[in-house]
Copies of this chain bind each other. A is one copy, B any other.
Amino acid sequence: MNEQLQPLKKQPRAGKAGRSGTQDDIVYAHIFEAILEQRLAPGTKLSEEALGEIFGVSRTIIRRALSRLAHEGVVLLRPNRGAVVASPSVEEARQVFMARRLVERAITELAVQHATAEQLAELRQMVNDERDSFSRGDRGAGIRLSGEFHLKLAEAAKNAPLISFQRSLVSQTSLIIAQYESGNRSHCSYDEHTQLIDAIEARDAVLAVNLMMHHMDHIDSKLNLDEESASDDLHAVFSHLLQTKKPGRPSVKL
């Protein structure tokens, strides 16, 4: 049971989520990816000691990773009561999307002004990766890559505070998508991403912003954020109680 993957020392490249070298980043990336791929349900408790054993590091490292995840809004840190995977309410989701519209509009306008040819090439490459992930059926990777596309676009805007904010918004958006998306469709059509790159490359600010706003509309429309989906919300909130690992207790004890 206490199977700990080898004490990730200085392996230059850990798995597909292993980004740069430091331990915090590795733990952070793994937990983040697990949340996006819904291997960690919203509301799941994230025990420091358990995570420490799993990743072969001490609670200190876990704590930093959780703190960072909490800063980005994908984890909720309750004092003296541990961390849980965030389960954004419909209202919180609306606020995130409102903020994203604001930021994406500004980023698009700035990217039209400042994006270099190299950055545009990188963006096209990311769309390719994203398409591949979805075609492979790797939904979690697709969501993550789609988010990274928007983050890369923010970098083209050349405004550090906006990039930081966008990172937080994209993380929360990914969590919301993973939680609320009506399942059958890809959440972020890469065609729209391609068109957006074309408009930016053509330095057509008006078109680019319009495309981005429509893109936001599409993402929004694919979510069940309407009032009548309160049942879905409740189900998400109590999903950690309803998981029937063992047969025999059908109802939740109140």
Contacts and interface: CB of A to CB of B under 8 A. Distances in A.
A102 B110 CA distance: 12
A204 interface: no
Interface string A86-127: 000000100110110011001000000000000000000000
B106 A160 contact: no
A95 B169 contact: no
Contact of A168 (B22, B158, B164): B164
A73 interface: yes
Nearest to A67: B67
Number of copies of this protein chain within its complex: 2
A169 B161 CA distance: 8
Contacts of A165: 99, 161, 165, 168
A47 interface: no
Nearest 6 A-B pairs (CB), nearest first? A99-B161, A95-B159, A165-B165, A102-B106, A99-B162, A95-B160
16 contacts: A22-B79, A64-B67, A67-B67, A95-B158, A95-B159, A98-B159, A99-B159, A99-B161, A99-B162, A99-B165, A102-B103, A161-B165, A161-B169, A164-B168, A165-B165, A165-B168
